[in-house]
Amino acid sequence: MDKRQIKKLLIFASLNLFLIGGFLFNHAKDDIFNTRANNPLDCADYFAESNDYSSIYEINQDLIAGTAIGTYKTWGTVTNTFSNSNGNFNFYVQSSDQYHQTSGIHIYQSSRQDIQIGNVVTIIGTPVLYNNLPEFINPTFVVDQMSNPYPY
């Protein structure tokens, strides 16, 4: 082989390594960024009966009817946050169910103060009706997504 053929071979090999490396990087990047926190939510996850979520609308209907018993698991978008005169952190959550019935609920005396308007959260707790206001008192919850790209 002369120098010209070796040069062509090296260029060809370098190009192949570059293309293969780019392909592998893109697939690894997709695996890293393809998480729930980085993609818009799929409401079907929340509506699937196998996930044991109750809509806020259903919870409020149970509270009004006096049939709310035990622990509920629900989800929604944080629409307002505030601290009361005792310094307790509170916020409101709103969501729609699969039938487009929108409802909200108050989260009273939350132990987490890092919640912000727009967070999408899963809430687990026992709801109560206080002065006809449906609320959870210090439930456990998880931030599913830092912001909601579309209203629920």
- Kindly state whether residues 14 and 53 are assigned to the same domain: no
Q: Which amino acid is at 43?
A: C
Report yes or no: 108 and 133 within 8 Å, Cβ to Cβ: no
pTM: 0.68
The tens place of each residue's pLDDT in the chain, 152 residues long, gives 666 666 655 555 554 444 444 444 444 333 433 334 444 556 677 777 788 889 999 999 999 999 998 999 999 999 999 888 888 889 999 998 888 899 999 998 887 888 899 999 999 999 999 998 999 988 998 888 887 765 54
Residues 65 and 118 in one domain: yes
Structural domain tally of the chain? 2
Q: Are residues 20 and 78 in the same domain?
A: no
| 71 shares a domain with 16 | no
- Residue 8, domain extent: 3-34
Report strand pairing: 89-96 vs 102-110.
antiparallel
* Same domain assignment for residues 112 and 54: yes
Do 17 and 84 share a structural domain? no
Task: Tell me, yes or no, whether 124 and 64 share the same domain.
Answer: yes
Residue 150 belongs to some domain of the structure: no
Strand order in the sheet with 133-137: 127-130, 133-137, 102-110, 89-96, 72-83, 120-125, 140-145
